[in-house]
Amino acid sequence: METDKLIGKILQGYQPACVVITANELKIFDELKQPVTAKQVAENRNLDPEACERLLNALTSLEIVTKENNTYHLPQDSQEFLVTGGSHSLQQWIQLSADLYPVWGQLSAFIKSGILIKSIMDMLGGDPHKMRAFTDAMHDKALKATWMIAREIPVGDAKNMLDVGGGPGTYALEWCKLHTHLKATVFDIPPVLEVAKNYIEKYQLEERVSTKPGDFHKDDLGDSQYDLVLMANILHMYDADMGNAVVSKAVKALQPGGRIVLHGFCTDEDQTGPLDDTLFSLNIGMLTEGGRAHPVNEKINWLKGSGVSDIRYFRVEATPTGVITGIRS
């Protein structure tokens, strides 16, 4: 692509995001379960009719909404992702992107100082509703990854799993649903586990999935208790020293011959790709002290230093893509 066209495409990148964020904020997708006119949407949501029509046309151009005979409709297979109560709703994830928008507007300040712009915990504001929304967003986004990783790794060989920093327990729940002999423990801080307990009840897996409150920075994870340990979407929150320490603690919780799985953002060795991971590394740098998308080889070396062998690295078509797994010697 010619340079001017490439730059032009990049500069317009925020505009489609704003269209989707706005439609989500105004609950416009909920109005599109059946064909409806722009005027009807505007009346139902108390919006300006002409401006609403422009937004619906943009959503149509983005191939999210279909337009036929001057009516707009959200296709059935998209409704589960975008309407309230959808089985794979992305509403909370879209809202999280909206919350990050003003942080990205201060990127130059971060580049000048290297100091985070806003702590991710401050962004959640100690608000239980925001914490719930954030945790729900993590669940919705993780579902696809759990299925893809399960296809690549013999999860079914395990009987006792520890999900470190497991949030809503998505991986533990999905893998226990897939393998009826598997039991799992979700380890996280108490406020997050309150959400996890709701999901455990929703999955009706109270007999096989339990919770354990704690702080993996301070508390032990156990000693040779589990044959499967997962760390998903947490290592990029910390610098290399902290990441290495947490991985070492997680490996200690494994039985010899047990498997550890690291899933998260990670760059290639020269740290210039994949694009999603390099952008995330900027993102998390503005929200944490020292967090980054660690290079793959760095994570592999953490595992080797903790006594893990038979290490395999691969990527899945989900977010995030990077998966590293190995066996405790």
pLDDT digits (tens, 9 = 90+) for 219-269: 999 999 999 999 999 999 999 999 999 999 999 999 999 999 999 999 999
Domain that holds residue 20: 3-84
Cα 91 to Cα 76: distance, rounded to the nearest angstrom: 16
Q: Average per-residue pLDDT in the chain? A: 94
- Under 8 Å between Cβ of 226 and 161: yes
Does 254 lie in the same domain as 175?
A: yes
Cα radius of gyration rounded to whole Å, the chain: 21
Whether 120 is covered by a domain: the verdict is no
pLDDT band for position 126 (cuts 50, 70, 90): low
Considering only residues 184 and 1, tell me which one the structure prediction assigns the higher pLDDT. Answer: 184
Share of the chain above pLDDT 90, in %: 87
Phi, psi of 173 (to 5 degrees): -70, -45
Same domain, 183 and 78: no
Total domains present in the chain = 2
Q: Are residues 173 and 308 in the same domain?
A: yes
Instruction: Clarify whether residues 66 and 168 are in a common domain.
Output: no
Q: Are residues 158 and 296 in the same domain?
A: yes
Mean of the pLDDT values across residues 190-200? 93
User: Do residues 304 and 205 share a domain?
Assistant: yes
- Tell me which of 63, 84, 105 is where a domain ends: 84
Whole-angstrom distance, CA of residue 116 vs CA of residue 106: 10
Q: What percent of the chain stands above pLDDT 70?
A: 98
* Residue 299 belongs to some domain of the structure: yes
Q: Where residue 22 sits, what CATH number does that domain have?
A: 1.10.10.10
Question: For 9-18, how does the pLDDT look when each residue is reduced to its tens digit (9 = 90+)?
Answer: 999 999 999 9
In a domain, 100, yes or no: no
Do 78 and 154 fall within a single domain? no
Per-residue pLDDT tens for 98-112? 989 999 999 999 999
Which of 84, 99, 132 represents a domain boundary (last residue)?
A: 84
Give domain status of residue 90, yes or no: no
Q: Does residue 221 fall inside a structural domain? A: yes
Query: Which candidate, 214, 202, 153, places its Cα nearest to that of 173?
Result: 202
β-strand partners of 212: 187
Q: What confidence score (pLDDT) does residue 128 get?
A: 75
Same domain, 41 and 156: no
60-69, 115-124, 230-239, 297-306: range with lowest mean pLDDT: 115-124
CATH of the domain at 311: 3.40.50.150
Band (pLDDT 50/70/90 cuts) for residue 124 is low
Domain co-membership, 148 together with 252: yes
Rounded to an integer, what is the distance from CA 13 to the centroid of its chain?
A: 21
DSSP, collapsed to helix, strand or coil, labels residue 272 as coil
Kindly write down the DSSP assignment for every residue of 77-135, as one continuous string: HHHHHHSTT-TT--HHHHHHHHHHHHHHTTHHHHHHH---SS-HHHHHTT-HHHHHHHH
Asked if the structure places residue 80 within a domain, the reply is yes
CB 187 within 8 A of CB 165: yes
Within this chain, do residues 177 and 78 fall inside the same structural domain, yes or no? no
- Beta carbons within 10 angstroms of residue 2's beta carbon: 7
Same domain, 246 and 317: yes
Q: Which of 45, 63, 84 is the last residue of a domain?
A: 84
Are both 188 and 55 inside the same structural domain? no
Tell me whether residue 159 is in a domain. Answer: yes
For residue 125, name the pLDDT band (cuts at 50, 70, 90): low
φ, ψ at 302 (rounded to 5°): -60, -45
Q: What is the pLDDT of residue 138?
A: 83
Q: Is residue 127 part of a domain?
A: no
Q: Which residues contact 159 (CB under 8 A, 6 or more apart)?
A: 181, 182, 183, 227
Cα–Cα distance, 251 to 79 (Å, whole number): 41
CA angle 270, 276, 282 (to 5 degrees): 75
